[in-house]
Amino acid sequence: MSFIADRPAIRSVYVNQTCGNSEDVCITCFVRGNPLANISLRRPGQNIAIIECLNTTECNVKISKSAIKSSEYECTASNLIGTARQTITIQYDLKGKSFFEASQ
């Protein structure tokens, strides 16, 4: 049996605008890699993660809409082979509806 090592790659970052209740937004980061990655979600430039998930393929966090306003979040996935990052920007229009865009 051979072991093929693969650096992590972020498959997608998903924003669910109706998780829990109407006051929350859930951000989920989906990752692939071998070995499994340690995933963190944080605000860019901050050393402290909002959440860290170890040896997995997905990580999610629930954030209050009132805390978001207009914000960037960064999903970082790391294993023994390498690291991948993706930033997502969440913004609200004047009617309080959110929209987001992801960039690598």
In terms of residue numbers, what domain contains 19?
6-103
Q: Give the domain CATH number at 65.
A: 2.60.40.10
**pLDDT tier at 91 (50, 70, 90 boundaries)?**
confident
| Cα distances (angstroms) measured from residue 56 to each of 32, 33, 83, 85, 101 | 9, 9, 14, 15, 24
Overall number of domains in the chain: 1
Q: Considering the chain, what percentage of its residues have pLDDT values greater than 70? A: 79
Asked if 12 and 82 touch (Cβ cutoff 8 Å), the reply is no
d(C-alpha 90, C-alpha 35), whole Å:
30
Residue 1: inside a domain: no
On whether the pTM is more than 0.85, the answer is no
Grouping H, G, I as helix, E, B as strand and the rest as coil, residue 65 is helix
Position 20 in a domain: yes
Q: Which residue has the higher pLDDT, 40 or 49?
A: 40
For residue 36, what is the DSSP state?
P
Residue 12 maps to a domain: yes
Percent of the chain residues topping a pLDDT of 90? 43
Distance CA 7, CA 23 (A): 36
